[in-house]
Chains A and B, each alone.
Chain A
């Protein structure tokens, strides 16, 4: 079966892009989940859906519309969550408004628009040019994350201390929002706007159940993202299931497993 998959170039391409995006999303997720920003990923994916709908209506290139709109929303949302603690409601307002705009735009645009692909992704129809964009975005994300690993840690752990001692925390928060927005835009092609935030939230949440240092949480999150993607991808091929949903289902199983492992550990060691 594996050789069968590798004999189709479009499957190989889909798989590589998916792996890249999964790892990038999982690393960003560690910082976002720890800063209680995980809902931002969810909000941004809905904004992405709205932007896709509008681009279909105006027959514009999807990336041209979604990238600037989602990036701008990311900055606005992070700014609100930093300043006021009322980030929750502003995210909910923004995401439902964007969904409404998207649904209206799609219905006006008519039957040519594939609503299903917008909502649930279509990894197998990823074009060559989309593939390049996804690969470039993931490479930039991975590189920036590794290069600024310590600064992102310090900003996530205690931004007040970091700022007081001369670290430009505003710059790293902006970097994080930019990367999150980009990963969501390219990831939406794979998982769709309804499921993309799971790539951000699941790996970090799973790793945090059992790991106690930032480094081990980051490593386990990335590893879990890779394994869940591969298993989900093969399962969807083997059983002809929707790809995005299969990947999320694998994450869900890992999440349940991590809870069981943690509880078992507490019961055994009495930690």
Chain B
């Protein structure tokens, strides 16, 4: 079943196109990796699919009953102010606000928030202030918030930036589990490992065009071979 599709889309900002003629579709249960050089439009693509940026041409369609409030999102750069007074728990709980009803967060929602933080190794920081965390700890809290928001689909824009190697491999493991449990993943990454090991579909952007296809097709194509070589996997 298709969840998201778009055909002949032009991505860009304020009439300035970045990429045109883009057609793609994301199926239920897919694991899509979005790769490509800096400035090629990966983040713009994600923001367009999320409805944060209007496509210059074409329309992104949500199908199969996918609703906005079933989507989790980890931005590449968040606009959060460094001095914003907020506890870690307040941040993570705000993730489930999209499906929340009523005034108080339920015991179940609080338990889930705590679980996400424990999974990401932040159990001793649950009642800390968000301002006082390190860069990698910020990233983990925002990941926990994204997981809280996720019901069907999770968008991750370079989730491992700032994470240490151990947390990175734990995150990939966690994503594998989530995908196994039926969550659809769309992840922007410069790391070849998840693309090579876990992804089902690859969307590759470059300044001259794009490639969209299964992982097998991709790694047999020119851009895929190029990526392998650059990542030192060309043996």
Residues on A facing B (Cβ under 8 Å) = 34, 36, 146-147, 149-151, 153-154, 157-167, 208, 211-217
Contacts and interface: CB of A to CB of B under 8 A. Distances in A.
Contacts of A162: 94, 97
B97 A151 contact: yes
Contacts of A166: 67-71, 98
B73 to A, nearest CB: 4
Contacts of A214: 84-87, 90
Contacts of B75: 160-161, 164
Q: Which one of A36, A160, A215 has the highest number of Cβ atoms from chain B below 10 Å of its Cβ?
A: A160
11 contacts: A34-B84, A146-B103, A150-B94, A165-B98, A166-B98, A208-B83, A211-B85, A212-B86, A213-B85, A213-B129, A214-B85
Interface residues of B, number: 36
Q: Which one of B51, B94, B95, B131 has the highest number of Cβ atoms from chain A below 10 Å of its Cβ?
A: B94
Contacts of A149: 103
Interface string B114-136: 00000000000000010110000
Contacts of B113: none
A213 to B, nearest CB: 4
Nearest to B46: A164
Contacts of B50: 164
Given A161-B145, A166-B71, A213 B86 contact: yes
Given A164-B52, A165-B95, A167-B98, A158 B79 contact: yes
Contacts of B86: 157, 212-214
Interface string B59-97: 000000001111111010011110111110011011101
B150 to A, nearest CB: 9
Nearest to B95: A165
Nearest to B96: A165
A18 to B, nearest CB: 27
A255 B111 CA distance: 38
Given A163-B52, A167-B98, A212 B71 contact: no
Given A34-B81, A161-B149, A213-B129, 4 more contacts: A150-B105, A157-B86, A165-B72, A213-B90
A40 B81 CA distance: 19
Contact of A157 (B72, B80, B83): B80
Interface in B25-59: 50-52
Contacts of B132: 212
A164 B97 CA distance: 12
Contacts of B200: none
Contacts of A154: 94, 97
A165 B71 contact: yes
Sorted nearest first, the 10 A-B pairs with minimum C-beta distance are A166-B68, A166-B69, A212-B129, A213-B87, A164-B50, A164-B73, A166-B98, A165-B149, A154-B94, A165-B98
